Amino acid sequence: MAKAFAKKGTVVLGLSGDSVAAQAKFKTNYGLSVPLLSDPERKLLAMLGALKETEPGKSKIIRSTFVFDEKGKLQKVYPNVKVDGHAEQVLADLH
Protein backbone atom coordinates (compact mmCIF):
# COMPACT_ATOMS: atom_id res chain seq x y z
CA MET A 1 0.00 0.00 0.00
CA ALA A 2 2.90 2.39 0.76
CA LYS A 3 4.10 2.09 -2.85
CA ALA A 4 0.63 2.98 -4.19
CA PHE A 5 0.59 6.17 -2.11
CA ALA A 6 4.14 7.02 -3.16
CA LYS A 7 3.14 6.64 -6.83
CA LYS A 8 0.53 9.37 -6.25
CA GLY A 9 3.23 11.59 -4.70
CA THR A 10 1.68 11.22 -1.27
CA VAL A 11 3.54 11.20 2.05
CA VAL A 12 1.84 9.22 4.81
CA LEU A 13 2.50 10.11 8.45
CA GLY A 14 0.92 8.86 11.64
CA LEU A 15 0.11 11.08 14.62
CA SER A 16 -0.72 9.97 18.12
CA GLY A 17 -0.71 11.20 21.67
CA ASP A 18 1.77 8.48 22.64
CA SER A 19 5.40 8.99 23.56
CA VAL A 20 8.15 8.27 21.04
CA ALA A 21 9.10 5.15 23.04
CA ALA A 22 5.51 3.84 22.97
CA GLN A 23 5.31 4.51 19.23
CA ALA A 24 8.55 2.61 18.60
CA LYS A 25 7.10 -0.40 20.38
CA PHE A 26 3.82 -0.06 18.42
CA LYS A 27 5.68 0.14 15.10
CA THR A 28 7.69 -2.97 15.96
CA ASN A 29 4.64 -4.93 17.13
CA TYR A 30 2.65 -4.14 13.98
CA GLY A 31 5.50 -3.99 11.45
CA LEU A 32 4.72 -0.41 10.43
CA SER A 33 7.01 1.53 8.13
CA VAL A 34 5.05 4.81 8.32
CA PRO A 35 6.78 7.60 10.26
CA LEU A 36 4.86 8.44 13.45
CA LEU A 37 4.63 11.90 14.99
CA SER A 38 4.38 12.09 18.76
CA ASP A 39 2.02 14.64 20.33
CA PRO A 40 1.82 13.71 24.02
CA GLU A 41 0.52 17.17 24.92
CA ARG A 42 -2.14 16.71 22.21
CA LYS A 43 -1.69 20.24 20.87
CA LEU A 44 -1.64 19.32 17.19
CA LEU A 45 -4.43 16.79 17.71
CA ALA A 46 -6.55 19.56 19.24
CA MET A 47 -5.72 21.98 16.40
CA LEU A 48 -6.82 19.35 13.88
CA GLY A 49 -10.07 18.70 15.74
CA ALA A 50 -9.08 15.12 16.44
CA LEU A 51 -9.98 15.19 20.14
CA LYS A 52 -13.34 14.60 21.74
CA GLU A 53 -13.95 15.67 25.31
CA THR A 54 -15.28 12.72 27.28
CA GLU A 55 -15.61 14.58 30.58
CA PRO A 56 -14.22 17.84 31.94
CA GLY A 57 -10.44 17.77 31.57
CA LYS A 58 -10.37 14.43 29.73
CA SER A 59 -10.48 13.65 26.04
CA LYS A 60 -10.04 10.79 23.62
CA ILE A 61 -8.44 10.82 20.21
CA ILE A 62 -10.77 10.54 17.22
CA ARG A 63 -9.09 8.30 14.66
CA SER A 64 -8.99 10.54 11.60
CA THR A 65 -7.23 11.04 8.31
CA PHE A 66 -6.25 14.48 7.04
CA VAL A 67 -5.20 15.08 3.45
CA PHE A 68 -3.05 18.16 2.81
CA ASP A 69 -1.88 19.41 -0.56
CA GLU A 70 1.75 20.13 -1.42
CA LYS A 71 1.36 23.67 -0.03
CA GLY A 72 0.12 22.39 3.33
CA LYS A 73 -3.52 23.34 2.75
CA LEU A 74 -6.05 20.95 4.23
CA GLN A 75 -8.00 19.33 1.40
CA LYS A 76 -10.07 16.60 3.05
CA VAL A 77 -10.87 15.18 6.47
CA TYR A 78 -12.00 11.63 7.18
CA PRO A 79 -13.26 11.58 10.80
CA ASN A 80 -14.06 8.46 12.83
CA VAL A 81 -12.00 6.21 10.58
CA LYS A 82 -12.53 2.46 10.51
CA VAL A 83 -9.33 0.69 9.48
CA ASP A 84 -10.77 -1.89 7.08
CA GLY A 85 -10.79 -0.47 3.56
CA HIS A 86 -9.89 3.05 4.64
CA ALA A 87 -6.47 3.27 2.99
CA GLU A 88 -7.97 2.03 -0.26
CA GLN A 89 -10.72 4.69 -0.06
CA VAL A 90 -8.24 7.51 0.55
CA LEU A 91 -6.05 6.27 -2.29
CA ALA A 92 -9.04 6.19 -4.64
CA ASP A 93 -9.99 9.76 -3.62
CA LEU A 94 -6.52 11.17 -4.38
CA HIS A 95 -6.21 12.92 -7.71
Looking at residue 67, what DSSP letter applies? Answer: E
Task: Count Cα atoms within 13 angstroms, Cβ side, for 17.
Answer: 14
Non-local CB neighbours of 61 within 8 Å, separated by 6+ positions: 16, 17, 42, 45, 50, 51, 52
Give me the residue spans of the domains in the chain. Answer: 2-93
Model confidence, pTM? 0.78
pLDDT tens column, 23-52: 999 999 988 888 999 999 999 999 999 999
pLDDT, position 48: 92
> Which architecture, in CATH terms, is 2-93?
3-Layer(aba) Sandwich (3.40)
Q: Report pLDDT digits (tens) over 65-80.
A: 999 888 888 889 999 9
